[in-house]
């Protein structure tokens, strides 16, 4: 069976580092890194995500403020809240939980967050900095994936990597980070031909396509590393089960290392969000 890359254990290590940085900032500068989380509406999954983020932030000694708006709130109301948070010197990081209700413009909201407080790493200026190899706040999920990969491959240079999925949140920034690590990167997507053959030739496969158990053992080279970003709810014998974009049972028998779902990339995403918030607080001191 493949080596299991334990995201829960790794996230605990990252959060210990965050807690140490928080204590240092408090002792040396009398500030507490503060994350403002904005939740619009009552989407059940989003409420769980926000609750987990707030809980982990408090466990690391940070301050976390949740702003909850009605699902019917206007773009103007949301923009005014973000403007207030941008101008609040006590707030170091701003996260607007996505997806937003359909009448709100995601892109406008993301662009309205000050780049220095954009702890999701989605602002166009941060995206451009990442693409050009300059320091920036990096999207949390790809950042967490890179930390997980480092547990198996301390040196990624020369590795052949296929990223399945081209989203702005995971696929594209993941590819940019891998390029910075000197990998040879292919982004596969819904229009890619012979996608199975591409994956079968890869040293590392990052699955971020949003389709339950889409990738099976026939796609994976023996000994390859598989990072499963997907989280999908399926029905098994009348019960709800969370699975990734990878058929774990079959792939784990042939891969060299693999992340589980749940307990893999998910915990690392939250840990990297708090890592970004601490970094943002430090940069705002300068």
Catalytic annotation, residues: 53, 97, 120
| Residue 158 tokens, joined | 């020369």
Cα 100 to Cα 96: distance, rounded to the nearest angstrom: 8
Q: Quick check: 53 and 35 in contact, CB under 8 A?
A: yes
Tokens of 159: 């590795």
Residues 6+ apart with CB under 8 A from 74: none
Number of helices followed by number of strands (H, E) in the chain: 10, 11
Q: Are 37 and 69 in contact (CB under 8 A)?
A: no
Q: How far is CA 284 from the centre of its chain?
A: 22
For the chain, give the number of residues: 286
Query: How far, in whole angstroms, is CA 229 from its chain's centroid?
Result: 9
User: How many CB atoms within 10 Å of residue 188?
Assistant: 23
Answer whether 243's CB lies under 8 Å from 261's CB.
Answer: yes
Strand 3-4 to strand 257-258: parallel, antiparallel, or no bridges (unpaired)? Answer: parallel
Q: Please give the backbone phi and psi of residue 204, each rounded to the nearest 5 degrees, phi first.
A: -135, 135
Residue 262: helix, strand or coil by DSSP? Answer: coil
| Euclidean distance between CA atoms 198 and 187, whole angstroms | 10
């Amino acid at each position: 069976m493949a080596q299991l890359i334990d995201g829960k254990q790794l996230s605990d290590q990252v959060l210990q580092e965050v807690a140490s940085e928080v204590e240092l900032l408090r002792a040396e500068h009398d500030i507490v890194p503060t994350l403002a989380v904005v939740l619009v509406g009552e989407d059940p999954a989003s409420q769980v995500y926000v609750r987990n983020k707030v809980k982990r932030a408090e466990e690391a000694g940070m301050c976390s403020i949740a702003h909850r708006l009605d699902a019917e709130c206007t773009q103007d109301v949301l923009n005014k809240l973000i403007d207030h948070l941008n101008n609040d010197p006590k707030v170091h990081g701003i996260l607007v939980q996505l997806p937003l209700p359909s009448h709100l413009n995601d892109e406008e909201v993301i662009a309205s967050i000050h780049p220095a407080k954009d702890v999701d790493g989605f602002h166009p200026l941060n995206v451009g900095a990442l693409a050009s190899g300059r320091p920036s706040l990096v999207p949390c999920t790809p950042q967490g994936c890179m930390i997980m990969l480092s547990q198996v491959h301390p040196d990624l240079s020369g590795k052949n990597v296929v990223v399945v999925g081209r989203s702005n949140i995971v696929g594209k920034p993941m590819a940019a980070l891998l390029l910075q690590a000197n990998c040879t990167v292919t982004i596969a997507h819904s229009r890619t031909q012979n996608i199975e053959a591409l994956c079968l030739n890869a040293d590392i496969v990052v699955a971020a396509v949003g389709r339950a158990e889409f990738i099976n053992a026939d796609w994976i080279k023996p000994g390859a590393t598989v990072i499963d970003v997907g989280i999908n709810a399926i029905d098994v014998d009348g019960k709800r089960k969370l699975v990734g974009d990878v058929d774990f049972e079959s792939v784990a028998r042939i891969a060299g290392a693999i992340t589980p779902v749940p307990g893999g990339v998910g915990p690392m995403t939250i840990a990297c969000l708090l890592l970004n918030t601490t970094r943002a607080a430090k940069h705002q001191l300068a």
